[in-house]
Copies of this chain bind each other. A is one copy, B any other.
């Protein structure tokens, strides 16, 4: 492996000039710099990151901390997105399930925290880091714009001519469910429609939860469309309706949220908003690198918009 010393000797300059030619090219005389770079290429020079790290006191390492299931679709997409961005920007990375303190690192990305853990992190971690998911603390974070997503879905139903629109929500105590609910309310209100309270439900996010509520939801005969807070719930509702001999979307329109798998499992496919998870991963890495490069920049809060995907589960009335 060639080193800057080899290059320096061959070019008749000092090691420092070689170092500058790479890291601060402007301050090296053109002629000298060109010569140095030529020799570097000739010798197949590759900078030794370890030595660079040691001298500059930067590890070049990013920790990814998560308790998500390793082969979970959501996590793998997220992680790969971050990995691509970090690699492109000269950072290498390690995943750890929990502890932040096994290796030295320049920055960290937290994905899939439990409630309240943002507090702990905020008071513990002194290095740059980013969270996946909102928090009120003065911390950089990136999240999906849930409100906008379900607003778009609801608005799409309204624009398709629906007026009596119910909601099948998720009864988790997590922010994203309330945000999706809020999007529904906003769209309804903006259109001057009344929210049919007897057709607004909150259920456990599971097939079982969906199965229990489906007959009750279908019993509301004047409701022509349901906004579901996930594709899973939409899938189960459609499945049940078809079992009962109903035709979708002719007799009932349904929209979902997620765009991972369930939207394509039903026939017709579910009209939904897709979470661009890979891009969220890229974005969260970008925010972290920004923070590392500029410690004092204002806090970054990034909301990623979902993407509309027409599956055919909505009837256009007009």
Nearest CB in chain B: distance from A234 CB, A: 15
Chain B residues contacting A46 (CB-CB under 8 Å) are 101-104
Within 8 A of B (CB), among A112-135: none
Among the 9-residue stretches A70-78, A155-163, A195-203, A216-224, the one with 4 or more Cβ atoms under 8 Å from chain B is: A70-78
Instruction: Give which listed residue, B51, B54, B71, B94, contacts A77 with CB less than 8 A.
Output: B71
Which of A47, A49, A102, A278 is the most central at the interface, judged by chain B CB atoms within 10 Å of its CB?
Answer: A49
Q: Are A87 and B76 in contact (CB under 8 A)?
A: no
Chain B residues contacting A77 (CB-CB under 8 Å) are 71, 76
Q: Are A44 and B101 in contact (CB under 8 A)?
A: yes
Chain B residues contacting A92 (CB-CB under 8 Å) are 61, 92-94
Partner-B contacts on A (CB < 8 A): 1, 44, 46-54, 59-61, 70-71, 73, 75-77, 79-81, 83-84, 86-87, 92-96, 101-104, 261, 264-265, 267, 278
Sample of 7 more A-B contacts, CB < 8 Å, known A50-B51, A71-B278: A46-B102, A46-B104, A49-B103, A50-B52, A264-B264, A264-B265, A265-B265
Across the A-B interface, the 10 shortest Cβ-Cβ residue pairs = A50-B53, A71-B278, A92-B92, A76-B80, A76-B76, A50-B54, A87-B94, A87-B95, A50-B50, A264-B265
